[in-house]
A and B are shown apart, each in its own frame.
Chain A
Amino acid sequence: DSGVTQTPKHLITATGQRVTLRCSPRSGDLSVYWYQQSLDQGLQFLIQYYNGEERAKGNILERFSAQQFPDLHSELNLSSLELGDSALYFCASSPPSGSGSGSYNEQFFGPGTRLTVL
C-alpha cells in the first residue's frame, strides 16, 4: 500500500459523458501527478500540481482538466468522453523537494481508476 488513494476503482460510462476521478496523496506529499495508461501502453503523463498550483503539463487533452484543493487532494475531470479515453488513470504523489536527497524523484502511485467508456 503506497498511501495514495484513488476513487472510484472502476468506472463505466457512455460516450459524451463527464466523470471525475479523485486522488488523495500520501500524508506530507505536496505534489500530485496524473497519468493515463491505455491497454498495453506505457504511462502518459498528464499534469502535475504542487501545493495547489499547476506546475507541469504533459499530453493532456483540452477535454480533460484537473485541480488540487487546499487539503491537497486532487480531481481529474474528463468530459465529452470518447471510446479512446478508456484506460487506467493513475495518480501519484511525491515528497516536497528538500525533504531528502532526490526523494522528490520517487513517485508513489495509487491503485488507479479503470475507466471504461461504452
Chain B
Amino acid sequence: GQSLEQPSEVTAVEGAIVQINCTYQTSGFYGLSWYQQHDGGAPTFLSYNALDGLEETGRFSSFLSRSDSYGYLLLQELQMKDSASYFCAVRDGGNYGQNFVFGPGTRLSVLP
C-alpha cells in the first residue's frame, strides 16, 4: 500500500527552529512536496524535492533522502503566522499520470 507518516502535532516558540519529518512508502516515487494549510484555508505549495539533499527557500528548507524514504521540512525563525498544518506529499506517477499521495498532516503551534 501507499502511506506517509508525519508527527500529528509539533509545538515551538517564536524565533525557534522546528523540523517536521515525513517517511513514505509508495509504489512509485517522483518527488516529495510540502504544503502549508491554515485553518479554513486552501493548501499552498512550499517546496519540492526530486533529488537527495537540501532545498532552501527563505526561512523554509526541505530535505530528501530517497534511500531512507525520508524527508523533512525545516522552519527557521518561527513566526506566529507559521501556525498551520503542514502536509508532505509524494508524487508516485510519472509525467503521464500524477497521483499525489498526501500525508496526514502535522499541526504546528507557534507560541509567543
- List A residues at the B interface (Cβ < 8 Å): 2, 31, 33, 35, 41-45, 48, 55-58, 90, 92, 94, 97, 102, 104-112
Contact A105 B48, CB 8 Å, known A31-B98, A42-B105, A45-B102: yes
Partner of A56, one of B42, B44, B98: B98
Asked if B45 and A48 make an inter-chain contact with CB atoms under 8 angstroms apart, the answer reads no
Report B37-87 residues with CB < 8 Å from chain A CB: 41-45, 48, 50, 87
Please give the number of chain B residues whose Cβ is less than 8 angstroms from any Cβ of chain A in the complex. 25
* Chain B residues in the interface with A (C-beta under 8 A): 30-31, 33, 41-45, 48, 50, 87, 89, 91, 93, 95-105
In the complex, chain A residues whose CB is within 8 Å of the CB of B100: 33, 45, 107
Q: What residue in chain A is nearest B104 (Cβ atoms)?
A: A42
| Residues of chain B lying within 8 A (CB to CB) of residue A55 | 93, 96-98
Bound Cα distance from A112 to B31, whole angstroms: 25
Residues in A whose Cβ lies below 8 Å from that of B50: 102, 105
Enumerate 26 A-B pairs (CB-CB under 8 Å) in ascending A order.
Answer: A2-B42, A33-B98, A35-B102, A41-B104, A42-B103, A42-B104, A45-B100, A45-B101, A45-B102, A48-B98, A55-B93, A56-B93, A57-B99, A58-B101, A90-B43, A92-B43, A94-B98, A97-B95, A102-B48, A105-B31, A105-B48, A106-B33, A107-B45, A109-B43, A110-B42, A111-B42
Chain B residues lying within 8 Å of A104, measured Cβ to Cβ, are 95, 98
Known: A45-B101, A55-B96, A56-B97. A109 touches B44 (CB 8 A): yes
Contact B42 A58 (CB under 8 A): no
* Chain B residues near A33 (CB-CB < 8 A): 98, 100
* Distance, CA A112 to CA B102, complexed state (A): 17
A-B complex: 7 closest residue pairs judged by Cβ atoms: A56-B97, A109-B42, A43-B102, A55-B97, A56-B99, A42-B104, A106-B45
